[in-house]
Every structure is written in structure tokens, then in C-alpha cells.
Structure 1
């Protein structure tokens, strides 16, 4: 899984979404993340089709909505997502939240079925605290490949990072730029100035140094390119320590129907 991807949350104008996906792929991105809940899988598929990139070189991820997590609905709507994306399989399919119609046994058995059919290469979880991950690991036949959660310098997810290392799954960060709050932090600004870079690039580089995949949303070419150039930034141990030491702790995505046990 490429450690930098294009996030598409709230990229719901079909033409803009397709263009941003095509632009990112032509620029060098190879990881695209979408979801049923975003309402843009067809546009993402159009962007993938328009880009001159071999399918075998791409890593495409989507998520089953909380309203579709009953066993049979997972199977049915996964096929609909594949049709919308114009693909015969996705590289990673997530349970979007352990909420709504989620039932661990029923939901995850459907994911196992999709995996055995070759419709999905990997099973993913999203917004799962550690104990929910462990429950899923015990139920699934397929390995848990990734857990996608909010993560950025103001929500550093120390517990989940340790848990991912211990249980050998990938951590994927959504909202890696804290919805723009990274631009307001003095530490990130100082590090960025030293690298002649943006605070966004520093945040993405910090995540990469932590072994975490980031999927920043971007629509315009300038932002897509700015995020992509973060792969060129190497942070020193001192810079990592300074970012680790940021005291602000902010969770931006915390619906009242979500899991109780966040770190």
C-alpha cells in the first residue's frame, strides 16, 4: 500500500472529483481512497479510467457504509461499488465504522466471502479502537490489513500505533492535516520554514516517519502537488521530537454514535 494516497471525502462534484483523481494519478499518486458514504465512487472510477496508469499499479480502497453492514447488504453493495468504480476488484475494502448495522459475526463473514471470491484483496477496518480490532481479528479468516483512523500531530494515536505494530496491521490516517489546523501551529510552521516547505508537507512527512499511511484530501492541482512533494522531506530526530511534543489534542471526527473507547 503506497504510504501517500488521495483522499476524496467531500469531493462530491463529479467532474471535479474525476479530474482530481486523474490529476493525482498522472502526477504519480498510486493510492486512491473513497467510500460509499462519499457518494463519489462513480466519479473516482471515471478519474481512474481517464488516467494513463495500469490498474496493476494502483491501490484502490473503498468502504462499506454503516447502513449497509448487514451480511447480505455487504455482499450486494460491494458489487455496486465495484460497478461504480469500474473495477473487478478493490485492493482494500473497509468497514467504515463499527456502528449502524455492524454486527461483527455477520458483517465480517461477508468480508471473508468477498475476499475468498477475489472481489477484495485485503480486509480493512476504519474507526476501530483496539478492542474492536482484536474482536475482528478473532472472527475473520482473512487477516486485518489496515485500520483507518483520524490521525495528525494533534491526535497522535500512540495507543493505536503500538497496537498496530503488535498485531501487524497498517494504520491509515484520515484528516492528516487536521482540516487545515496544521497551518496554525508554530512548531509545524518553524519546521516547515527550515525545509522551505509547507506545514501540510511536514505533517505528512511526520506521519510517514511514524510508519503511517496518509490520505489527504485535495482537489486543486496545487494542493495535490504540494501534498505529493511531502515524500521528499526527511525530518530529523530533533524535528520529530518537537512535533511529538505538541501538547494540543484535538479529535475532529467524533460522532455520538461512534465507538466509546477512543484513546
Structure 2
């Protein structure tokens, strides 16, 4: 499987999204994916499935260096102390001593972005998050992160398919060599319905990078 290099990490271009996967079914799906060659697993604290994913990763007994694990901090936990608590909880549930990529899951109007990215960059400096990034960021928010704060953004994970025009975001990312990670890449429904209804871990399991 091809890998893409960004901000010091090398991640497979195809990954298993686990949104709406739960419990034993989630564990079984991740174990099955790993058995057929998947090495990129995408989760989030909001998905409430990091524990079964951690169990699946442990059961697979693959060398840690072969795995790429992404998780995310929810928008309600963007204060510095809350980020650290959420991150520590995610590591414990995943049974890992580090994640490969840690993302801000959704923007928050009340976030102090300087403090948010300072905290994330410290996690990166500590080696507990090999890279940091964002999800669902507009070009305006990307400019704050990349140009004002100069955070080492490894990717922006957004809804991306033929029925949703993301050309402005894509152009901004491309100009700065920041990968776009797509969720719902094959969807033909309005964006909010896609996020609420579809399950990247079931009907649309793949995240595609470009």
C-alpha cells in the first residue's frame, strides 16, 4: 500500500474509518482489516470506540512501526488541560504509548487557537503524538493555524466528494503541500446528512488521501 509523507510521518493512503463502529463489532472489523493488510486506523474520542480498537490492535500483535493510528480531540475539549486529559484517555483506551496523528476534530468558536496548537505541539515535542493536524477546517481557520500560529499541520480531514465543492480548501492545502484526508469520498448526499447518516466504518470504510 502506498504511503504519503507529511510532517515527519509516513501514513498509508487508504485507512479504515471507524465512525459508528461499536463494541465487539468494531473490534472484529478492525481485526479483519488488519488481517487483510490495512495499517491505517482512524478513530476519535467522540466515536466512543477507542477501547475495542485498542483491543484489536493488541490482538493483532503487529510491530508498532507498521501501524498508523489517528485519533481526534472533540471540540468541547479544546482548553489546554482538557486536551491533555482527552489525549491521555485516548492513549489508555488504545493501549498505546503514542499516536501517529492527533487531530482537532471540529472547530470551536470559543477556542483560543494559540493555546490549542501550543498544547498540541507540546504533545508532538514529547513524542506522544508523532504529528498533529486538523479536521473540518475552513480556509480562514487554516490560515490562522498555518500562517499566524505556524503550527506543523500534517493534514486537514474534511468531507470531500463530487457533490460538495471544497475547491477553495483544496487549493489552499495544495499550495502549501498539506494533504487533504477525505471522509465520505463516495457520498452523493448533502454534507450534514452525510456526516449524520453515513458510517465510514460500515457503508463507506475508506479514507482517501490526496
Report the TM range for the smaller structure's normalisation: 0.7 to 0.9
SS in 2 for 1:63: strand
Q: Give the superposition deviation at 1:31.
A: 0.6
Alpha-carbon distance in 2 for matches of 1:44, 1:35: 11
Q: Is residue 9 from structure 1 mapped to residue 34 from structure 2 by the alignment?
A: no
Q: Are the aligned partners of 1:66 and 1:100 in contact in 2 as well (CA < 8 Å)?
A: no
Alpha-carbon distance in 1 for matches of 2:52, 2:109: 26
SS in 1 for 2:29: helix
SS in 2 for 1:25: helix
Q: Where does structure 2 lack aligned partners over 5 or more consecutive residues? A: 1-10, 190-198
Q: Are the aligned partners of 1:5 and 1:216 in contact in 2 as well (CA < 8 Å)?
A: no
Q: Deviations over 1:5-38 (max 9, x none)?
A: 00011112x1011111111111111111000111
Q: Is residue 84 from structure 1 mapped to residue 68 from structure 2 by the alignment?
A: no
Counterpart of 1:111 in structure 2 is 120
| Structure whose alpha-carbon radius of gyration is higher | 1
Q: Are the aligned partners of 1:112 and 1:142 in contact in 2 as well (CA < 8 Å)?
A: yes
Alpha-carbon distance in 2 for matches of 1:49, 1:85: 9
- What's the C-alpha RMSD, in Å, of the aligned pairs? 2.3
Q: Give the superposition deviation at 1:119.
A: 0.8
Query: Superposition pairs for residues 139-218 of structure 1, below 5 Å?
Result: 139-140=148-149, 142-178=151-187, 216-218=200-202
Q: Where does structure 1 lack aligned partners over 5 or more consecutive residues? A: 182-214, 231-263
Counterpart of 1:32 in structure 2 is 41
Give the structure with the higher percent helix.
1
Q: Give the superposition deviation at 1:138.
A: 3.3
SS in 2 for 1:118: coil
Give the structure with the higher percent strand.
2
SS in 1 for 2:172: helix
Q: Is residue 21 from structure 1 mapped to residue 30 from structure 2 by the alignment?
A: yes
TM-score by length of 1: 0.67
TM-score by length of 2: 0.82
